[in-house]
Structures are given as C-alpha cells and as structure tokens.
Amino acid sequence: MKHLKPINIKAQKIGQSVDSLEEDVVALQQQPRPHVPMGCTLSFSPGWEVDAGGGTAGLCQPVERDIYDCYVTCFWPVQVPDHVNYSPDWASNCAAATKDWRNLDLVFP
C-alpha cells in the first residue's frame, strides 16, 4: 500500500493481504510487455472470446471484463449468476473489473 500506513498488527495483516492481491495481477502487465496482437476478437461474440492470435491478451477489452459483462449487460443466457432475480449483489465487490475480477465469486444455487 502506498498511502495508508498500518500502525498496529491487525492493520499490518490487512496491508499484507491487500499487497498480495496487488502483486498477484502483474502477469500480463509486467515490463517489457508481451507481444500483443492487434485487433479485436475474431468472431465469438458474445461468449468466451479469443483475439486474433487465439489468446486473450489482445482483446479490445480484457477477458475479465467480458466475463463480468455477461452478468449485467449481455442478452445471451450463459452460465453466470442471474442479476435480476437471485444474485443482484454478485458484482458489488467488483468496482473495476480489470482490477477486481477476483472478487467475483462462484454462486451455488
């Protein structure tokens, strides 16, 4: 953490937990950046998409964003929690999908 300084043991534990989440997401963002193919997804829309190279790094939006989008905005009935009836709070811990997608948990009906 850059801005908050933990000054007791509980705060240090929280800080470590937050930092471990931060370190956890660098795989596709580290320098030097991996080769990123140009272009958007080929044709699989909506659904689980790949980019022109068959990977997920070159999507116009991160793949995590896509998973999340199935939840609120997509008309396609895929296997994500139902935000209308049963899981209205599913995404409430996910403010920015690119950073917080790990907060999206499984749903057990």
Partner 1 sequence: MTTMLAHRYRRGELHQFRAADNEFIYLVSAGAIFALDEGTRSVLDLLGEDEMDHDDLIAALIVVGNDPADADSLVRELRMVRAIHFDQVVPAPAPAAPPADYPLQALVLNVTNQCNLACTYCYEFGADKIATPQGKPKYMTLETARASVDFLLESSGNREAVHITFFGGETLMNFKLLREVVGYANNQAAAVGRRITFSLTTNATLLTDEIIDFLSDNAIGVTVSMDGPPELQDKRRVYKNGKGSYAVIEPRLRALIARHRTRAITARVTLTDGVTDVIRIYRHLKDDLGFHEVGFAPVTASDTQDYSLDDDAMAGVLGDFHALAEEWLDYALRGEMHGFTNVSETIGELIQGTNKSHPCGAGLGLLGVSPSGDLSPCHRFTDADTHTLGNLATGLDSAKREDFLTRGHVGAKYECQSCWARPLCAGGCHHEAFVRYGETGHANLHYCDWIRDWTDTCLKIYGAVAARNPGFLEHFAQRKGLS
Residue positions annotated with a catalytic role: 66
CA distances from 88 to 71, 105, 107 (A): 10, 13, 12
**Minimum distance from CB of 9 to partner 1 (Å)?**
5
Q: Angle at CA 72, nearest 5°, toward 70 and 73? A: 75
Interface with partner 1 (CB under 8 A), residue from 28, 88, 102, 107: 88
Interface with partner 1 (CB under 8 A), residue from 30, 35, 43, 73: 73
Nearer to partner 1, 35 or 92 (CB): 92
Q: Is 85 in the site for partner 1 (CB under 8 A)?
A: no
Interface with partner 1 (CB under 8 A), residue from 84, 92, 106, 109: 92
Q: Is 84 in the site for partner 1 (CB under 8 A)?
A: no
DSSP string, 20-84: HHHHHT-TTTSSSPPP--SS---S--SSS---TTSSSTT-SS-HHHHHHHHHHT--S--SS--TT
Interacting stretch for partner 1, rule CB under 8 A, among 28-36, 37-45, 50-58, 69-77? Answer: 69-77
